[in-house]
Structure 1
């Protein structure tokens, strides 16, 4: 066949133009069918306007610091003007140099791919996808399974690619180039569970997107290509090489100079890496409490083992709009809000600096003082963790703890026998455990790890503005990763002598005064068929004498509390306690004076705030408003107030609480911690020194501390170490030292109580007050 034969040329032209026409018609037909959604739905206009992606909710402090995030994927959105130009330049130079010149599809880039990458196998030629196409792929992921055969997979890939072209064009019509670049950087994955540029900047460099330097921007843009292969944590050499490739592209297209390239490309990778986790960061217990609180479901009695707990949660559901907020409120499309994916901005009452001071104070006291002292005692008694119980009882405690573990449940579910389960729990395995010197790797059996954690003392702290109920600091335990249980709101413990001010409140309300003298003698109560007489564990030179109520509370003397109880029915005391804000169940019996009932620290701080707030009980709140990811206000929250006692009664109680600090069981605040100014408080110690409490009040801040072990049989042997003045008070002291030192907080030793006009017959400066000895040992 001759090539110059007219017939041959005509046939060639016919076939060539026929094939070209067929290809064109085929592509047009495919596009029409895609447009008609023959191959499945395309993103709607509404979806393009509001593209779905899992955006983390931010927990924000009152001083506008992000305390942490609640998320399924750690992603937060930022606007274009919040992103460093270095990032934008690196992105365009590397991924789409003609970004500002195309309308979603770069046909010149496609041509390069066709002729260089496909025909000549030049990998360096790169891909043809624009930033807009990559955004379309990230916003509306491909539905292609590796289990499908090659033909089906290839066909679906081609159709999906065409869909992305159409979506990219639509995106270009609906958004500006700046918005598209920002959207892309907000959705892409950077590895280490970081999605979006804001999360990546925080994770790898502990900074914000607007502060990223050229080398940091180049590194992050390079990571997007393959987050694992180019991970600066796992594969630093690969990451450095990829960073320099990005820098080379920036040099090629004029975003950096030769001098900048030469100097920056030689720099080592310097990270401030912190993998984001719910276990780390500031206010971990608070964030978890908030998550559980907002996602709570309507209480179902079948899910509760205690009717009292069911009643408490039902009351919360009905009266507290934040409790179960996500399930009580719906989005415009009718679906409930999702705290993990909707990018909510939760503005809290917590002050980031007070929160840090509280966490530091709690850790400092437990690490440096309490835990070493308890460890020394345990070592002295031959390693026995539990005190005052039999070995059989101790083994039972460990066994019950073992049954609560995920390991135990898994073994039971697999059908393992009791003997094999015990063998499993006694087998030593590598594990990482908590210590006050940092996590340590060790070889330990699961059963020994249970015993190991039982010996640690826990503590909790909460501080509140008494005037508006805003919770300023919230620490549920010593370390959220290893001690998950929240002892501020979730846990309840016996409150000991911190309940005594509630009795004195009733007395003050009914006409007694701080200087009223009463007999310091044993009081007896008829309880059923028995006679009960609460006694003091210690004695003073004032036994059998007439003493003031102020002295009785200052030294936490049971005789005086019992005398007050005899003047009023137990039911009247219970009513007063509930009036002050305690919602936990209290049985109306005389033993109330010993504080054997269990309250939460959250309740106690709220109740003590009533004294500072001139008798008005304010329910603690921790969220002021919730916004959606676009800044639209979805809900606001206000303080609930209740006039519990008179202003005069509240002031008299302030006077009594001051005496505890000035001359009683709380005097350590003055002597050791040198705290000046107006401070009141009350120590509390329970039986066997299992729980130590301190409640502190100042004119503009009220705080409470609980300290104890997970099990009440783990405790100090003597009162000197086990009392509230030693277990809990020092945390308050350390916290207040830090707060007073930070003058920007507006909490000053110069603050004063708001003093009301008192009746002429009420005396608060007792004549013999100065003759009382200073006593920081509780006569509980």
Structure 2
């Protein structure tokens, strides 16, 4: 075979015209003709899949957030590569590149003779730049180790096929096009591929701005990129670099003066390493969430592996929603209240109403391993590398409030709000699929002062009265609040449906902070819900849009319902009730609405609130499993007592600091003033039902527009079996939709 190859190459010396193989004249024997016929029958079209190229993720201002790559490369046209760099690579790799065809005959013959003298083994290469490019493409296309070994196998059969590809390549492309392809595929070491990435890595510049010293060093690395290391062992690199300068001088590319001057110079390195992945991002948790969103999007590939490969090799431009101003404000606010090494954690999510764009995603624990660090993103669910969720506490009462307004219950409607309420055993509260009930009496107590045994929706909300909302939930049922919450975007950390149980209104579902911000943004947008969105668009290397999931905005609440919720929640912060739980969250220059949340054992505290421009949810929760109370724990350098561990005192200031920093002093547009029917008051006299049976009393009171609650039996022999007491008393002017309690004589 070695002799045949020698004959073929010898024959080709006279027949390579414009890159075409022409059959030899009769002077060449049959063996040579057969070899050439065999050569011409080889595949000639080189498969050239797109080169792997780095993808870049940008923040909401257009600044780079992260880079993803398997091979650090950015393809550029030849016009974006300095002429000096082009001359340097040609000088050392293929001095007669523009003069010969697909192979350099002189170099090939010289290498062939050397190899024959060495007993037929490959000792010296004579490959042209075109041939080198062919080999690099074949190696790049190899997907298994066996395929890679075949590409690098030192046999004449392999080199003959590469030569056939080279012939076909020069038939199809100009020399400049081939040089451009070569400079974009070649490896320079340090995980850097292509001259553009190499210019940035070694010299913090671009391929277009490479000077003589820089170009010569990069050209020097190509022959042995794994063996030459300009950072750790610079002397061999300078030796090879000077050889490049010498060749450039011999070819007339540089003068003797420049050669003598620059061969004495150092390497002039200015390393700018392009670190890959979210670990090296300024905002790693958000970055990782945005990446997970794309990895879960089937439009980017059939499997997660295919999608990751597309991201690492597709040269994508990924544009995200994160606002550095809001993100930094949220992080500062958390850090002022909670330390990374505390036994608790804090998280803040911020979402823009009307778009769903995620503006911030911050948490107290940093990204990574070790004390005060984690890879768990507490703002999102487990399917996005997140946690099991947080206890939202009374921030969930807002969904019951929305259900009441949606059902036409007036915000002036009053319900019993005793300090302690006992829901009778087996009482059924309707759900979407039946009813919830408890086999034992359910005892609920207030953690705040209702100020009155009977309060309306406004006071019940601003004072966060537990017994009031349990009674309201008994009236609305569980299906409507749960449906509103789900439609507004609420998600459990474990991905399961919301639990429709009696304590729903008290916040027993473990939900994600991001979904809480998303849901409250729905109220801010007057009932228009947009899915929380991290990525706005993805462009491929040709600047075409890659189809991805969109925010999917839709109206899930009538505007007047959302406006009614906003009107009530505004009074939590800026109302005139001295007992309001959110009074410390006044947001200067903005009309804000919000709701405090403290779970039953004070294991978690939170605050959810919004303006027309931004919604945010802040939470502080114990980091252990099972959860421990925050009472007595050291948080932010302080031992927290009973007065501190409330949604309005611990989580509220975090929310306020984040919102103030994100919004600044520029006022937000005012919310819309709500319209009827929720805010109209229709008062009628309560009919007298004393002495009537419970069924008769219920029917009469419901016809008058009231909701009837059956209280505990009382002793009244004069009315045995009939209504012995009603509250409020007969004749009282009372708003329709209010509760009237009747007690039957035992």
TM over 0.5, yes or no? Answer: yes
Residues of 1 paired with 2:646 and 2:83: CA distance? 59
Match of 1:524 in 2: 422
Structural mapping, 1:143-542, within 5 Å: 156-201=154-199, 203-204=201-202, 209-210=207-208, 215-239=213-237, 242-243=240-241, 245-246=243-244, 258=257, 262=261, 265-266=265-266, 268-296=268-296, 322-323=297-298, 325-327=300-302, 338-340=309-311, 343=314, 345=316, 347-351=318-322, 354=323, 356-357=324-325, 360-361=328-329, 363-365=331-333, 369-371=337-339, 375=342, 455=343, 457-474=344-361, 478-482=365-369, 483-487=374-378, 488-490=380-382, 491=387, 492-512=389-409, 520-522=417-419, 523-527=421-425, 528-537=438-447, 539-540=448-449
* Native 8 Å contact 1:534 1:558 kept in 2: yes
In 2, distance between residues paired with 1:656 and 1:252? 84
Match of 2:595 among 671, 682, 686: 682
1:568 CA drift (Å): 2.0
Offset of 1:271 from its aligned partner?
1.7
Contact kept in structure 1, 2:53 and 2:75, CA below 8 Å: yes
Alpha-carbon displacement from aligned partner over 1:301-321 (angstroms, at most 9, x marks no partner): xxxxxxxxxxxxxxxxxxxxx
Identify the residue that residue 590 of structure 1 maps to in structure 2.
502
Contact residue 609 and residue 617 of structure 1 kept, 8 A: yes
Gaps of 5+ in 1: 1-15, 297-321, 376-454, 742-747, 765-780
Offset at residue 363 of structure 1 (A): 4.7
Distance 2:608 2:455 in 1: 24
Deviations 1:14-36 (A, max 9, x none): xx999978998677654542442
Matched residue of 1:327: which SS? Answer: coil
Deviation, 1:232, is: 3.6
1:595, distance to aligned residue in structure 2 (A): 0.6
Quote the Cα distance in structure 2 between the aligned partners of 1:668 and 1:692.
Answer: 15
* Conserved? CA contact 1:660–1:680, under 8 Å: yes
- In structure 2, the residue matched to 1:132 is 130
What TM-score do you get using the length of structure 1 for normalisation?
0.66
User: CA contact under 8 A between 1:55 and 1:340: conserved in structure 2?
Assistant: no
**Per-residue deviation, residues 56-81 of structure 1 (Å, max 9, x unmatched):** 44445555545334444444433334
**8 Å contact 1:294–1:325 — kept in the other structure?**
yes
| Larger Cα-atom Rg | 2
CA distance, structure 1, for counterparts of residue 203 and residue 646 of structure 2:
45
Cα distance, 1:711–1:155 mapped onto 2, change above 3 Å: closer
- Any conservation in 2 of the 1:278–1:284 contact (CA below 8 Å)? yes
Give, in angstroms, the shift of residue 687 of structure 1.
Answer: 4.4
Match of 1:759 among 662, 670, 676: 676
Q: Provide the aligned length of Structure 1 versus Structure 2.
A: 612
1:762 alignment partner, SS class: coil
1:36 corresponds in structure 2 to: 41
Mapped to 1, the partners of 2:320 and 2:467 lie a distance apart of 41
* 1:236 Cα deviation after fit: 4.4
Shift of 1:604: 2.0
Residues in 1 aligned to 2:113 and 2:535: alpha-carbon distance in whole angstroms:
59
Instruction: Say whether the 8 Å CA contact 2:72–2:197 is kept in structure 1.
Output: yes
Cα RMSD (Å): 4.7
**What TM-score do you get using the length of structure 2 for normalisation?**
0.69
Q: Identify the residue that residue 667 of structure 2 maps to in structure 1.
A: 750
**1:725 CA displacement:** 4.9
**Partner-residue secondary structure (3-state), 2:139:** coil
Counterparts of 1:33 and 1:631 in 2: how far apart (Å)? 43
Q: Which residue of 2 aligns with 1:776?
A: none
Query: Match for residue 312 of structure 1?
Result: none
Structure 2 gap ranges (5+): 1-5, 14-27, 426-437, 633-639, 682-746
Deviation at residue 138 of structure 1 after TM alignment: 0.9
Q: Deviation of residue 752 (structure 1)?
A: 0.5
- Is the CA contact (8 Å cut-off) linking 1:91 and 1:221 kept in structure 2? yes
2:687 corresponds to:
none
Tell me if the contact between 2:195 and 2:207 (Cα under 8 Å) persists in the aligned partners: yes
**Secondary structure, counterpart of 1:99 in structure 2:** coil
| 1:647 to partner: Cα distance | 0.9
Taking the aligned partners of 2:151 and 2:658, their CA distance within structure 1 comes to: 63
Take 2:231 and 2:650, find their aligned partners in 1: how far apart are those partners? 42
Contact preservation (8 Å) 1:56, 1:342: yes
3-state SS, counterpart of residue 635 of structure 1:
coil
In terms of fraction of residues, the more helix-rich structure is 1
| Partner Cα distance (2:8, 2:90) in 1 | 39
Which of 105, 108, 129 aligns to 1:107? It is: 105
Q: Per-residue CA shift, 1:401-422, capped at 9, x if unaligned?
A: xxxxxxxxxxxxxxxxxxxxxx
Q: Secondary structure at the match of 2:480?
A: helix
Q: Deviations over 1:701-731 (max 9, x none)?
A: 3333444454244664345665445665555
Separation of aligned partners in 1, 2:404 and 2:215? 67
| 2:405 alignment partner, SS class | helix
SS across alignment from 1:270: coil
Task: Rate the CA distance shift 1:569–1:53 in 2: closer, same or farther, 3 A.
Answer: same
Structure 2 CA distance for aligned equivalents of residues 647 and 146 of structure 1: 61
User: Any idea what SS the aligned residue of 1:138 has?
Assistant: helix
Q: Which residue of 1 aligns with 2:569?
A: 657
